[in-house]
Amino acid sequence: MSEVPKRCDVLIAGSGPGGSMAATFLRQKGYDVVLMERRRHPRPNVGESLIPHFWTYTDAAGVTDRLVAERFIAKAGAFADWEGERRHMAFRNYGFSRPALHVERDVFDHILFNHAVGNGAQAFEDCTVQDVEPGETVVTRYVHAEAGAGTIASRFMIDATGQQALLGRHLDVRQADDDFRFVAIWGYFEGSSYMAADGTMQPPENARTIAPTTFVTGLPYSGAGWCWHIQLRESTSVGLIVPTERIRQARSQPGGLEAFFLQQCAELPQLSILLQRARFIPGSLNVINNYSYTSARMTAPGCFMIGDASGFIDPIFSIGVTLAMYGAFTAAWAIDRSLRNAERAESSRAIFEQQIQTRMAVSRALCRPAFRAPAYTEGRLKAAMRLYSTAEHGLIRDVTGLSGRSINFERMSDPAAA
């Protein structure tokens, strides 16, 4: 193992899709990058459903061929069973030539990590970032499993620590989202059937020939609670987004959360049919409490927060990985612009902040079952929506409509107010 350096141009904490892609983008521009990962790849991660937009970023990073070669499951679109209505959408109707994917995140994230290393990022696994001091020189403290504690000085730092939200907590800018008091609980099954885009149910062995959809269904006892079913190569990811109070009850019942989860899987109308012959993989249950939050600020002097570290919303639209990659691209752009012209460091940071905050605000508004944005925010959201293409507007309208959330889209896409 090489020694952790004392200085570098950019220190990146976290090597999920955001961190690894940011490392690659910065290496392409010739900067000296250190990438720290608290675990070791390959490691499990949730968020297996990807919209096809992510290819734009993997093209820019030069890692598309490697991802294509992995032959992940190509998905056709989404199928929703929502308040008695069944609707579906297919990405190919919106001009996408490449597929959306269902990916095993341990494999997917590992490919992006290896690509960053292949591009010359100095990566350290089993290396936990403990604390960051923003400033003209950013000082980061870490603990490495072998080398022990140390500090590294960098001109810039990117926080890609995911739900850990290192910098957001440190700066006390992380805000729990009171509109989304939900718990995510998920597990894995073997042998599940899936929904194809034409509304037929297919056995697992057909997943290569008849593309699956991401199946979502609303929970009958909660307007905004829902469930996902994501067909992977060897298993199926099934998750519930459940109101916090309901989970509190479930924890106190015999069998606890696992019994609750399996009972839901057996009772939800269409899901239970898909899982009829499936076997739950023991020990595969995971929980994230209070996962929904935003950050009042997403930058500090020398520092940028990207991906889940900057905020996380309801995962209903499968945009998390794409948002993280967009954050990675924008942070790398802002850092490069700052290092090429120090006088533009402030405005680069302001552009990053504005772009990422706006993107997050749009995503959040689209997720909400009702529209409650203040007038100022509404104006900003409408202006932001003007920057999406016609095809993208059509896609967003139809996808939000699947789960009965298009009311916010209709309001935000009003061109008269843009």
CB closer to other proteins out of 204 and 327: 327
CB nearer to other proteins: pick between 112 and 230: 112
Closest residue by Cα to residue 271 from 207, 188, 195, 185: 195
Say whether 229 sits in a helix, a strand or coil: strand
Considering beta carbons, is residue 121 or 335 the nearer one to other proteins?
335
- Phi, psi dihedral angles at 226 (to 5 degrees): -155, 180
Question: Smaller CB distance to other proteins: residue 272 or 389?
Answer: 389
- Min dist. Cβ of residue 359 to other proteins (A): 8
Q: Does residue number 40 form part of the binding site for other proteins (CB under 8 A)? A: no
> Which of 138, 165, 134 shows the shortest CA–CA distance to 151?
138
The residue (of 153 and 417) whose beta carbon lies closer to other proteins is 417
Other C-beta atoms lying within 10 Å of the C-beta of residue 256: 12
The contact pattern for other proteins, residues 20-39, with x = CB under 8 A and - = no contact, is: --------------------
Task: Name the phi and psi angles at 398, rounded to 5.
Answer: -75, -35
* Nearer to other proteins (CB atom), residue 294 or residue 330: 330
Instruction: Name the nearest CA neighbour of 236 among 188, 193, 268.
Output: 188
Name the residue nearer to other proteins (CB basis): 207 or 384.
384
Is residue 107 part of the contact set for other proteins (CB under 8 A)?
A: no
417 sits near other proteins (criterion: CB under 8 A): no
Structure tokens at 41: 């790849």
The structure tokens 């490919």 sit at 111
Sole window of 290-298, 369-377, 381-389, 406-414 interacting with other proteins (rule: CB under 8 A):
381-389
To other proteins, the closest distance from the beta carbon of 124 in angstroms equals 29
Task: For residue 101, give both structure tokens.
Answer: 């994917």
Q: Does 273 bind other proteins (CB under 8 A)?
A: no
Q: How many residues make contact with other proteins (CB under 8 A)?
A: 26
Find the binder of other proteins among 70, 258, 378, 392 (CB under 8 A): 392
In whole angstroms, the minimum distance from the beta carbon of 348 to other proteins comes to 9
Q: Measured in whole angstroms, how far is the alpha carbon of residue 35 from the centre of its chain?
A: 19
The Cα diameter of the chain in Å comes to 63
Residues 148, 294 contacting (CB under 8 angstroms): no
Q: Choose one: 53-61, 103-111, 181-189, 212-220; the region binding other proteins (CB under 8 A).
A: 53-61
Structure tokens of 368?
């909400």
Least separation in angstroms between CB 27 and other proteins: 17
- Cα separation, 396 vs 282, whole angstroms: 37
DSSP for 98-126 reads S-EEE--HHHHHHHHHHHHHHTT-EEESS
Residue 70 has a CB neighbour count (10 Å cut-off) of 14
Indicate the length of the chain as a whole number.
Answer: 418
**Separation CA 218–CA 246 (nearest Å):** 15
Count Cβ atoms below 10 Å from residue 16 Cβ, excluding itself: 27
Among 82, 96, 371, 388, binds other proteins (CB under 8 A): 388
Report the residue number, 144 or 344, with the smaller CB distance to other proteins.
Answer: 344
56 in contact with other proteins (CB under 8 A): yes
Q: Does 391 contact other proteins by CB under 8 A?
A: yes
Kindly state the smallest distance separating residue 34's Cβ from other proteins, in Å. Answer: 24
**Candidate ranges 54-62, 133-141, 262-270, 398-406; the one touching other proteins (CB under 8 A):** 54-62
CB of 75 to other proteins, least distance (A): 22
Report 311-370 residues binding other proteins (CB under 8 A).
Answer: 326, 329-330, 333, 337, 344, 347, 350-351, 354-355, 359
Q: Which stretch binds other proteins (CB under 8 A): 5-13, 51-59, 221-229, 288-296?
A: 51-59
Selected from 7, 387, 410, 414, the binder of other proteins by CB under 8 A is: 387
- How far CA 193 is from CA of 190, 198, 214, 224, 231, in Å, comes to 9, 14, 12, 25, 8
Q: How far apart are CA 415 and CA 418, in angstroms?
A: 5
User: How far is Cα 305 from Cα 318, in angstroms, rounded to an integer?
Assistant: 20
- Tracing tokens 């290496």 back to the chain, one arrives at 27
Task: Pick from 30, 44, 95, 256 the residue near other proteins by CB under 8 A.
Answer: 95
The smaller minimum CB distance to other proteins, of residues 82 and 333, is found at 333
Does position 149 interact with other proteins (CB under 8 A)? The reply is no
Determine the residue type at 370: A
Q: Is 43 exposed, middle or buried (0-12, 13-18, 19+ CB in 10 A)?
A: middle
Which residues would be at the binding site for other proteins (CB under 8 A)?
Answer: 56-57, 59-60, 95, 326, 329-330, 333, 337, 344, 347, 350-351, 354-355, 359, 383, 386-392, 418
